[in-house]
Amino acid sequence: MHIDWWTLALQAINVLILIWLLARFCYRPVMKAITDRQSAAATLLGDAAAAKQAAVEQQVALDARNKAFAAEADKQRTALHASLDAERAELLAKARTEAEAETKRIAAAAAADRARMAAELEVKAGELAGRMAAKLLGRLPPAATTDAFFAALAERLRDLPEDERQVLAAEPVTIVTPAALDAGVQADYAHRLAALLPNAPAPRFAADPALIAGFELRAAHVVVRNSWRADLDGLVAALREDGHARLA
């Protein structure tokens, strides 16, 4: 086999020129493009990692904020429940106090009503007793009690202050009895009254069945009462006063 060294040398030279051309015009730009692409990819990967880290940090911050919000909500809910419990307890205590006060007021009103009714019943009972006594005593003859009542009237006249006795002695006096007295009895009582009130004008006589029994001396400014009506009126007045005092 014959080898043409010149041809082989030319082919080798062509290969070397081709390699140089490839290295000059193709390899380096390709390598530069690859390097640039790798750098860009590394930059993108770095940005992605940073974004991921930022996202993770933001998620952590959001989780922490959510936990804080949840804790604050629990705290506010607990405080609200405590406030509602306290308000409910206060309202219950106030309602209980008002109910107790209303119960006491109703009890006091009921007691006052009972006391008032009892006092009214006592007064009515006294008035009824007075009317019954007046009816029973009205059946007695007036003369049966006049002397005793005149004696008591004389005692009252003696116990009067001097100025009132002088008024009675200076003014016309009317002797009032439950029934009209005959002339002889009138003269006797007029004589006995003159002994008690010297220099007094002659008395007049009048009848008033409402007295039931007894005497009354009536002058313009002084009245001396000694009769069953006066006693009954005093008893009824005392009952009423006692009833009013208990109601107060």
pLDDT digits (tens, 9 = 90+) for 15-35: 777 777 666 666 666 667 777
- Residue ranges of domains in the chain: 116-247
Q: Is 187 exposed, middle or buried (0-12, 13-18, 19+ CB in 10 A)?
A: exposed
Left if phi > 0, otherwise alpha if psi is -120 to 50, otherwise beta: which for 200?
Answer: beta
Give the per-residue pLDDT at 19. Answer: 74
Q: Report how far residue 120's alpha carbon sits from residue 243's, in angstroms, rounded to the nearest whole number.
A: 7
What is the side-by-side strand order in the sheet with 174-177? Answer: 204-207, 174-177, 214-218, 223-227
Give the per-residue pLDDT at 247. Answer: 47
Q: Report how far residue 150's alpha carbon sits from residue 214's, in angstroms, rounded to the nearest whole number.
A: 7
> Per-residue pLDDT tens for 113-146?
777 777 677 667 666 766 676 666 656 565 556 7
Query: Please, are residues 205 and 172 in contact by the beta-carbon 8 Å criterion?
Result: no
Element of type H or E holding 248:
none
